[in-house]
Structures are given as C-alpha cells and as structure tokens.
Structure 1
Amino acid sequence: MLPIWNAFRRTVTHAKNAKVLKHAKELRASISTGPQQQHGTYYEIRSYCIKPEHNTTFLKLLNEKIHLRTAHSELVGFWTGDYGAFNQVFHIWKYDSYGHRTRVRAAVATDPQWQEQFISKVLPMLVSQEVEAAYLVPWSEIQKPAKKGVYELVTFQMKPGGPAVWGKAFQVAISARTGAGYSHLVGVFHSEFGLLNRVHVLWWYESPDQRAAIRHTAHQDARVVAAVRESVSYLESQSNKLLLPTPFSPLQ
C-alpha cells in the first residue's frame, strides 16, 4: 500500500503546485499590467506657473495668439487657477500617438508666427512648467458640460502598484458620486510619464457655491462615505484646485 500512497501524494502535490504556479503567473501579470489601454490616444497635461506681475499680460497675449497653436493639434481645455492655484494655468492637449505628438512638436518649433509672436514673449514671464502624459482610464471618457461653469481638478497620488492594486476601489469611489448624480465628471486621467501612480479627476460645477453644497450633501451619503473610505486606504496625498475656463477653452 505504501508505494500506492506515495504515488497518490506525489500526484496531489504536483496538482497543487501547478495550481499555485498558475495563480502566481496570473497575479504577476495583473500587477504588472493592470487595465489596458485599447488605443494609442493620450493626453498631455500642462501646468505653468506665471510670475505674478506678468499674469494679466500673459493671459491677454495667450487669448490673442492661441489660434496659432491650436492650428497644429487639438486643445481639450484651458483654465486659469483660482483657489489652490494662483498665477497658474492648466491645459490639456490630445494626441493620437506619441508619433503624432513628435510631429506636432516639430511643426510648432518651426512655426515662425508662434515662436516670434508668443513663445519669445512669454518665456520670461514663466516661473516653471510641468508636463505629464496621461491616459483616460478605461472606464472614463471626456464628457463635455452642457453649459458654462467652473472646474475642480482633484489630483490623487496613489500608493505604488498601479490600477491593478487600487483601480477597482478608486472607480467605485468615483462612481458613487456620479451614480448618485452629485457631480458632472469630465474625465479621469492616469499618469504615464511624470509622477507615476497619479490620477487627475476633472469635475464640472455650475459655480463654486454649487460645488460646496454638493460636497456637503455627498459627505452625508452613506454610499459615498463607504466607497471613499475604501479608496483612501490606497491614497498617499490629494490636492484640489478650482479652475476657471479661459474664453477660448473648448471646455466651458
């Protein structure tokens, strides 16, 4: 009986090891990849800090010359910062691929009107620039508001590991607000180049007062509270900025 018993044990052990190995491979694949992008479209998120004494001049020149830049690629939105972002501007550009962006950058760099009438004049006005490449998360798309309003850019720095680790809980937290009709979600962006594990959530409101009222109501909703409590276990830091669309911004 002993040889039969040993053979049986070896068979069971082999089956268990194969199952564990298969699970480990699936787990490694999940952690290393997470939700996949289905196409090459990505977004460049830019933030500029302007010298306070030049802020008005910068915005005036931008309003007059931005058409020279939008002739080369699609502008999603352009905002000036209010609370949390004084003397700052934020803009989002859409590209079909990295190759597309390379071609656009080359064309912009050799556009004499743009370089002479705008770039050469504004560079001395800037304190700093930050550029990120980001994808819309797979469950989000750009949703343009029906009318003019204000925007809130909420930036979450998540714990390392990517969407495979915190993506589901984060989606549930966002869906708890949108599903209850509290806020209009414009888009959710996940960083690809720049500071990793960063998520930008762009919300729209009719006014800052409406935003305050909605936030007060949402924080008393047990569904929202439970979803947020789960999500924040993966959170390292968060910042909120109130943004005002410029007159030429496609998102108003």
Structure 2
Amino acid sequence: MIYELRTYVLHSAHFAEYLAAFEQRPAVVEVLRPHLRGFWAAESGILNRVMHLWEYRDRAERVAVRAARAQVPAMERFYADVLPMLREQRSVIYEGRVAPPFAATGGVYDRLAITLAPGVDGEALTHTVGERLSEGFQVVASLRSRLLEQPAAPVREIVFLLRSPSLEERQRAAVDLSAALRDSGVATAETDLWTPLGLSPLQ
C-alpha cells in the first residue's frame, strides 16, 4: 500500500464554505469514501489548512482512481467550485502503516514530521521513536517517504499521526522524545495539532 498525505491551505474567507461543500454533497462523499483514511482541520501551525490521507495499492491505482473521479459529473462540479478556494496544495506519497478506523469520537491528533540527515537509518529510527510515542499516544499512522520513491532508497522523512482521546488526555501524555531523538541524526522535527472532520474514518 501507499499513502498520500494531501494538505491544502484555503483562503480564510472560504474555509467554512469548503467544509460545508462536503456536507451538502453526499454524492461527492460516496465517490471519495473508498480510499479516504483521514480528514482533519489544523488547530495550530499554519491555519485554514485541511489534511487528507488517502490509501492506494500503488501509483497505478492512484492514477486510475483520480482519473475516474474526474469523469463523475458530481465531482466535476465539485472541483469547479472548490479549487478557487485553495491557496496552496501539497502532496507527499508515503509507505508505512495506518490503523483501522476508530469507532470512538472526540479524538485529537498530533502530526509529528521528522526530516532525516543523510546517512541516518530511517527504519531503525521509525521503530525507536514509534515505541517511545506509544507510551503516551495511540500511534495511528507511521509513514515514511524515500528519495525518488525508490524501495531501496534512503528514508528522507518520517511522519507519525498520534491520537489522543481528548485535549485533556493529550496534555497528560508524558512522552520524553529527547532520548529517542538525541544523536539520532534528525535534521528537523515539527509538530502541529489537528481535529478530525465528520467525514474522516479516523475520529
């Protein structure tokens, strides 16, 4: 499986309108649902952002699915309406693992993105950091991107999606990452907070 993390920055005047477009168009939701694993809105960092997580067997399926969507009349109208609302788009393809949907609602998510320095063993670091994170969070996704998306190429970025049942539980999560990241060759590490939207299978 591959996972695509798509992040959109919207014009602030259109943020609520963009979210409402999904609620008002059930036909669009039905087209998107089979490959959608998560859908969140940013609570920190760059605001007026949404993040989608998509799952495909491989690049070929991704291309075929996106081409088929574009031919659906409801999707054509949807794209025509929402694309002008977007100010910025970013897409990254990852390999890795994503947990099944959660039945419970009310969760909040942290996205921890780690960029690796050249020569760092990304597989080992993913395991070490993931083990430490699991002491305080539900590690919902552990994703890795490689140079040129080649299976044998070095890991260049690791992304963890971390779920807490509530903001209160998140504040109580005592996870010391300093030992896991110290002298590990991490170039940068950043986090931001996200809340799941109603369409998201991961709540």
TM normalised by structure 1 equals: 0.70
Aligned residues: 196
Kept after mapping to 2: 8 A contact 1:78/1:246: yes
Structure 2 stretches lacking a partner, 5+ long: 150-154
**Structure 1 runs not aligned, ≥5 long:** 1-40
- 1:84-126 per-residue CA deviation (whole Å, 9 max, x = no partner) reads 131000001111121111111111121121111x111111111
CA contact (8 A) 1:156 1:198 kept: yes
Q: Which amino acid aligns with 1:188?
A: S
Distance 1:79 1:143 in 2: 16
Whether contact under 8 Å (2:31, 2:69) holds in the other structure is no
Equivalent residue for 2:45? 84
Preserved CA contact (<8 Å) 2:42 2:193: yes
The answer to whether residue 159 in structure 2 is matched with residue 200 in structure 1 is: yes
Residue matched to 1:61: 21
Q: From 111, 126, 142, give the equivalent of 1:153.
A: 111
Say which structure, 1 or 2, has more relative contact order (CA 8 Å, 6+ apart).
2
The structure having more radius of gyration, on CA atoms, is 1
Q: Give the Cα–Cα distance (whole angstroms) in 1 for the partners of residues 8 and 122 of structure 2.
A: 29
Does 2:185 correspond to 1:229?
no
Q: Is the 8 A contact 1:150 1:205 kept in 2?
A: yes
CA distance in 2, matches of 1:228, 1:141: 22
Residue 121 of structure 1: which of 81, 87, 92 is its match? Answer: 81
Contact 2:95 2:145 in 1 (8 A): yes
Distance, in Å, in 2 between the alignment partners of 1:67 and 1:229 is 49
Quickly say closer, same or farther: Cα 1:95–1:246, change in 2 above 3 A.
same
1:184 CA drift (Å): 0.7
> Which one has the bigger helix percentage?
1
CA distance in 2, matches of 1:197, 1:78: 24
Q: Distance in 2 between matches of 1:43 and 1:106?
A: 17
Alignment of 1:237-248 (within 5 A): 237-248=188-199
How far apart, CA to CA, are the structure 1 residues paired with 2:147 and 2:180? 28
- In structure 2, the residue corresponding to 1:218 is in which secondary structure? coil
Distance 1:48 1:207 in 2: 25
Would the aligned equivalents of 2:42 and 2:192 in 1 still touch at CA under 8 Å? Answer: yes
Partner of 1:213: 172
| CA distance in structure 1 between the aligned counterparts of 2:148 and 2:46, rounded to whole angstroms | 19
Query: Are the counterparts in 1 of residues 133 and 139 from structure 2 also a CA contact under 8 Å?
Result: no
Identity %: 26
Cα distance, 1:161 vs. partner? Answer: 3.8
> For 1:38-117, what aligned pairs fall within 5 Å after superposition?
41-65=1-25, 67-68=27-28, 70-71=30-31, 73-116=34-77
Shift of 1:131: 0.9
